[in-house]
Amino acid sequence: MRNISKSFGSIQANDKVNLDIYRGEILSLLGENGSGKTTLMNMLSGIYFPDEGEILIDGEPVMISSPKDAYDHGIGMIHQHFKLVNVFSAAQNIVLGMETDPDGKHISKGKMDIAAASKRIREICDLYGFDVDPDQKVYDMSVSQKQTVEIVKVLFRGADILILDEPTAVLTPQETEKLFNVLRNMRADGKTVVIITHKLHEVEEISDKVAVLRKGQFIGELITSETNAQEMTNMMVGRQVELNIDRPEPKDVKPRIEVKDLTVRSEDGILKLDNVSFTANTGEVLGIAGISGCGQKELLEAIAGLQPIESGDVLYVNDDGSKESLIGMDPIEIDRKGVSLAFVPEDRLGMGLVGDMNLADNMMLRSYRHGSIPFTDRKTPRELAETIVDELEVVTPSIDTQVRRLSGGNVQKVLVGREIALSPNVLMTAYAVRGLDINASYIIYDLINQQKERGVAVIFVGEDLDVLLELCDRILVLCGGKVSGIVDGRKTDKHSVGLLMTKVGGGEIG
Amino acid sequence: MDKTVKEPLIHITKRRMVSKKREWTVRIVSILLALIVCAIVTAVTTHLNPFAVYASMWNGSFGSERKMWVLAKELAILLMVSVALAPSFKMKFWNLGGEGQVLAGVLATAACMVYLGDKMGNAGMIPLSLISAIALGALWAFVPAFFKAKWNTNETLFTLMMNYVGIQLVAYYIIKWESPKGSGKVGIINQNTQVGWLPSLGGKPYLLIVLVAVLVTVLMYIYLRYTKHGFELSVVGDSQNTAKYVGIKVDRVIMRTLVLTGAICGLTGWLMVAGTDHTITTTLAGGRGFLGVLVAWLAHFNPIGMLLSGFLIVFMSRGASEISTAFGLNKAFGDILTGIILFFVIGSEFFINYQIHFRKSHRKEAADV
């Protein structure tokens, strides 16, 4: 790729980027949020068209203006958000939209040979070590299986260059390991793999080379075996960064939230939480680990009054030691009780914020009820928005910008900033740093530690075990809706938590 | 040479920030373009001088004081319906039942006038018919809202069906109240006593309607922009999950908002019967329940903007009927012109939000070689 530039309105997403990708290598594309990694790869795979510059494959300039063009040149991309039809089987999804079979033979419309396709899918799977049942319907699949289908789909179309956009964001450590093995098999077969990521230990584990982007510009390329996490981080962020997460000693630890025998069923009657009991203490970070979909979402929502429960109790312990049940109350009633509960949900734009509203109006979500007149106070939220933009270094044109136009990290800063501005006594976060780059992640960890030192009971649902082990005082492990253990964050290690996550007897993935 | 890489001829990108000035320039240019296209179509198909046709359209709205009052009244009624629908649509409740909700107000007003016209004077009749019209209009909108809130039924179909229920009900009462017998129509109600008729302010029969419409528009602007209710309904419209997360009772907001919509539609129906028509027909709402959706949408649900989009629609329709009489053209010709203008106005939104890049000329590169 030569001198590639792309801008969106006034935002320069890529600025004269030069990137060389060689056959048979695994290249990591590293960069912070909004550094232009995905945009660059989208141009390679035909989603966007570059404003400037050219793309050469094997020395020939090529013109890629649609994903089909990209496939014709052997380039396939696996996006962060899967693009599969739920009611179709794996094989149907894989052949969907194809006009020719991989040998170039024309498939006439309405005569798609699913059986032959299935056979070929099995061959691909055997070659690289995938595990796909061509007849399984997509809605029956776990996230990792769906990802596998996406990869097979790209291979089926004869791609030699695979681009994976943050493939591990949704996977457990075990699934990630499986994926990496498959990628290594592909490399052995002469395929080229580009993986977009900002997880440094994965870069070190899987890739041959690392290309670093910062603010749309190409910063440099490193041979993985000759570099280290610190050097990569510095290149990515542009200055020296401390890579250790603080963990202040908990002070003045008292019970704040007691969850007793909590059982929750989803609307379809599936058991999501099964007799969950624990205590969250003031001045302490309680981590919640588990494979995704093991009841984390339901647990937090049940405490926040958003999830009807089947049995059990959630008790709030006042400063004087008296206890009140929060069961059956909605968020407003909980707030009126004087329980200031801050909640950073997993789905930031779909639940925590309103994507189409600007920063100021999103601040108003928590405060608009204040005052007894029927009119809203618009001034205070605007001031709060200004403060958050200043203090958390939110990158936004103005506080009148719609939040869905911000990048993932900035959206999260807005949400966390608003919730902390409630001066909560309980703070719950779900995947607070998912999709965030190192810099933004550390800002969030600092904020969490500040709240902990203020005496807030923090519940931190996380997916990165390294982070959970460095940040949390205690870690509760959920497995299939059951508590499979509560361990001391200072005394345990990744292996034992990993074992609890897949403890026998509750290993089903919801 | 045939290996030369070509850019696509055009590609389209979304604009990030659009200045107000640019927005309005695009809109005005698109209307001018529409007028040019209309002129060509007029000249080619009718062989008339397009400027004479335009002048006549202008006359249709501004030719005399009476025509200006008719324009103002038509605009006021359409504006009220659009303003009524705005909160529903802002909440993403696709309310296609404006027609039925207006007719409900019409029916309630007419019923009061027919049954109680000889039992009370205007002092009792006007408030009574007003309240009944508002109540029945609100009920017409409440029913689909209730089902939506409780059982998540599809509001588009439900509100649409409620229109037909309304029309049939009105048809039934027209037969019942028929006057004179056998005509199939309800003549002017209370023609002699004028009970239930709105007074004309300062000798201007439509002034009251215009004033009510202005008041309702301003109030709705404030309601949507500055009140807690207005904020809640836009949160519900954008994301029901977020609304629940901050403790908004979504079903209550849906029902409350639709009652408001229905009430204003009912009020509009009341103004039509008590204020201008003094009779009832099944077509009294005249498609305004649907036209109002267009008006509201063109203005992005901003009540003040609806004044402009509403004006455009009413002006075109008055102009269309004027040219059909002045030049003996088919009424459909006016509709064609209206269609062309709307096409350009709606199309301009695309050019406001997106940018089109044409293939750059390759002369510069050639010079480099």
Q: What is the DSSP string of B322-353?
A: HHHHHS---HHHHHHHHHHHHHHHHHHHHHHH
Contact A354 B239 (CB under 8 A): yes
What is the C-alpha separation between A456 and A284, in angstroms, rounded? 7
A332 shares a domain with A213: no
Q: Kindly compute the dihedral angle of the four CA atoms of residues A126, A132, A133, A136, in this order, to the nearest 10 degrees.
A: -170
Instruction: Give me the amino acid identity at A303.
Output: I
Confidence of residue A87 (pLDDT cuts 50, 70, 90): confident
Considering only CB atoms, A356 lies closest to which of B238, B244, B249, namely B238
Q: What percent of chain A has pLDDT over 70?
A: 92
pLDDT at A492 over 60: yes
Show the tokens assigned to A501: 């996550």
- Best of B231, B252, B356 to substitute, by most chain A Cβ atoms within 10 angstroms, is B231
Residue A473's contacts (CB-CB under 8 Å, 6 or more residues apart) are A247, A250, A284, A285, A286, A488, A489, A490
* Whether residues A150 and A71 fall in one domain: yes
Specify the pLDDT at position A205.
84
CB contact (8 A) between residue B3 and residue A61 = yes
Number of domains comprising chain A = 3
Most B CBs within 10 A among A4, A49, A404, hence the mutation to make, goes to A49
Q: Which residue has the higher pLDDT, B33 or A239?
A: B33
Question: Which residues, at least 6 apart from A391, have a Cβ–Cβ distance to it below 8 Å?
Answer: A417
pLDDT digits (tens, 9 = 90+) for B120-133: 888 899 999 999 99
ipTM over 0.95: no
A345 domain-assigned: no
Q: pLDDT band at residue A8, thresholds of 50, 70 and 90? A: low
Cα A367 from chain centroid (whole Å): 28
pLDDT band of residue B182 (cuts 50, 70, 90) is confident
In a domain, residue A471? The reply is yes
What value does the mean pLDDT take over residues B346-362?
74
Same domain, residue pair A276 and A226 = no
Please check whether residues A62 and A117 belong to one and the same domain: yes
Q: What is the mean pLDDT of residues B48-67?
A: 89
pLDDT band, residue B77 (cuts 50/70/90): very high
Band of pLDDT at residue B365, cut at 50, 70 and 90: very low
Instruction: Read off the pLDDT of each residue in B164-186 and give the average, rounded to a whole number.
Output: 90
Q: Report chain B's mean pLDDT, rounded to a whole number.
A: 88
pLDDT at position A505, please? 44
Q: Are residues A113 and A61 in the same domain?
A: yes
- pLDDT at A41 > cutoff 70: yes
Ranked by mean pLDDT, the top range of A93-107, B37-51, B318-332 is B37-51
Per-residue pLDDT at B369: 35
Q: Do B245 and A343 touch (CB under 8 A)?
A: yes
Q: Report pLDDT for A81.
A: 75
Please check whether residue A351 lies inside any domain of the structure.
no
> Looking at the predicted structure, is the pLDDT value of residue B163 above 90?
yes
Query: What pLDDT was estimated at residue B24?
Result: 85
Average pLDDT over residues B324-337: 83
The encoded tokens of residue A361 equal 């109006």
Tell whether A352 lies on the interface with B, counting CB pairs under 8 A. yes
Residue B364 has pLDDT above 60, yes or no: no
Best A14, A368, A379 residue to mutate vs chain B (most B CBs within 10 Å): A368
Report the residue from B15, B228, B234 with minimal CB separation from A374.
B228
CATH code at position A43: 3.40.50.300
Q: What per-residue confidence (pLDDT) applies to A507?
A: 39
Domain that holds residue A470: 244-340+423-510
DSSP, residue by residue, A132-154: --TTSBGGG--HHHHHHHHHHHH
Confidence of residue A21 (pLDDT cuts 50, 70, 90): confident
For residue B184, give both structure tokens: 């199939």
Q: Buried (b) or exposed (e) across A66-92, using 16+ Cβ within 10 A?
A: ebeebbebbbbbbbeebebeeebbbbb
Does A395 fall in a domain?
yes
Residue A376 lies inside a defined structural domain of this protein: yes
Per CB-CB distance under 8 Å, the chain A contacts of B246 are 331, 365-366
Contact A357 B227 (CB under 8 A): no
Q: Do A486 and A500 fall into the same domain?
A: yes
Nearest to A230 by CA among A220, A217, A244, A216: A244
- Clarify whether residues A29 and A144 are in a common domain: yes
Tell me: do A219 and A258 sit in the same domain. Answer: no
- Residues ≥6 apart with Cβ < 8 Å to B182: none
Q: Is the pLDDT of residue A182 over 90?
A: no
CA distance B141 to B124: 26
For the segment B197-220, the average pLDDT, to the nearest whole number, is 91
Provide the mean pLDDT of chain A.
83
Confidence at A391, pLDDT banded by 50, 70, 90: confident
Q: Is the pLDDT of residue B7 over 60?
A: no
Whether the predicted pLDDT of A390 surpasses 80 = yes
Pairing of strands A311-317, A255-265: antiparallel
> Domain for residue A346, yes or no?
no
Q: Which of A250, A428, A290, A446 is nearest to A351 (CA)?
A: A428
B260 interaction partners in chain A (CB closer than 8 Å)? none
| Pairwise CA distance, residues B201 & B191, whole Å | 19
Residue A6 has pLDDT above 70, yes or no: no
Look at the block and give the residue holding tokens 């048809």.
Answer: B171
A330 lies in some domain = yes
At B140 the pLDDT is 97
Residue B366 C-alpha, separation from nearest chain A C-alpha, in angstroms: 16
Q: What pLDDT, on the 0 to 100 scale, is given for residue A9? A: 53
Q: Is B309 exposed, middle or buried (0-12, 13-18, 19+ CB in 10 A)?
A: buried
Residue where one domain finishes, among candidates A222, A237, A252 = A237
Task: Provide the token pair at B214.
Answer: 């202005």
Residues of B in Cβ contact (< 8 Å) with A366: 246
Q: Which helix (H) or strand (E) holds A202?
A: helix A200-206
Residue B137 to residue B266: CA distance in whole angstroms: 4
- CA A456/CA A434 separation, integer angstroms: 22
Amino acid A101: pLDDT = 53
**How would residue A225 be classed by pLDDT, with cut points 50, 70 and 90?**
confident
Q: What is the mean pLDDT of residues B105-115?
A: 95
Please check the confidence at residue B366 and state whether its pLDDT lies above 50: no
Statement to judge: residues A434 and A407 lie in one domain: no
Is the CB of residue A421 less than 8 Å away from at least one CB of chain B?
Answer: no
Angle subtended by helix axes B20-46 and B50-62, to nearest 10: 120
pLDDT > 70? residue B104: yes
**Residue A458 and residue A383 share a domain:** no
pLDDT mean over A399-405: 87
Note whether A462 and A261 are within 8 A (CB): no
For residues A284 and A311, membership in a common domain is answered with yes
Same domain, A182 and A304: no
Strands A311-317, A284-289: pairing kind: unpaired
